Amino acid sequence: MVLCFVDPGVGMSSPSSKSAPGSKSFLWTFPECPLRIHVNLQFVESLRKILNSAADHEVGGLLIGKDLSRNGDIEVSDYFQLPPAPESSPNFVICSDLLAQSIKSASAVQGRVIGFYRTHLEQRIQLRPKDLECARSNFSDPMNVFLVIRPHG
């Protein structure tokens, strides 16, 4: 399981994220982690539009992608947005009654679900205990990726 955190004020919290000129993706790597994540730039632009429209509440969904090689290269190429929790909380809860059906729907329509993303409005960016519980029970593949984004610096 790989955890990725994005903070616009700091940038990506990864020691290595790079893109070759003219590339359609950038490579995101982590020390001591065999997984190499190729993030499609079209995915980033598409997700950015969703993030800009959600300033006062968290949003989230499933990450769609594919294995690029057997030695730990994966590509994040798309997302499947999940509906907000029915509660009045501004926090997004990834595990809901709809999660299993959403995974099936996203897999059938868009491709392999490789993890999830959500925004984070609090100052300290982190996975919450409910996120970790959800990851353990629904995303047990070591090639799964979890992206937490603070949309405003």
Could you read off the pLDDT of 99-145 as tens digits, one per residue? 888 888 887 777 889 999 988 888 888 888 999 999 999 988 888 88
Can you read off the two tokens belonging to residue 6?
């994005």
Contacts of 71 (CB under 8 A, 6+ apart): 34
Is 73 or 151 the better-scoring residue by pLDDT? 73
Residue 84 predicted with pLDDT over 80 = no
Residue 144 is part of which domain span?
Answer: 2-15+24-149
Among residues 24, 43, 29, 5, the alpha carbon closest in space to that of 131 is found at 5
pLDDT of residue 68: 85
Q: Convert the pLDDT of each residue in 19-54 to its tens digit.
A: 555 568 878 777 777 788 888 888 888 888 877 777
- Are 83 and 98 in contact by the 8 Å Cβ rule? The answer is yes
Number of helical (H) and strand (E) elements in the chain, helices listed first: 3, 9
Query: Is residue 15 very low, low, confident or very high in pLDDT (cuts 50, 70, 90)?
Result: very low
pLDDT of residue 64: 92
Among residues 122, 113, 62, the alpha carbon closest in space to that of 90 is found at 122
Question: What CATH number is attached to the domain comprising 76?
Answer: 3.40.140.10
Q: Which residue has the tokens 């993890």?
A: 115
> Rounded to an integer, what distance in angstroms lies between the CA atom of residue 117 and that of residue 148?
6
Q: Which residue has the tokens 């690029």?
A: 68
Residues 146-153, mean pLDDT to the nearest whole number: 78
Query: How many structural domains are present in the chain?
Result: 1
pLDDT of residue 67: 83
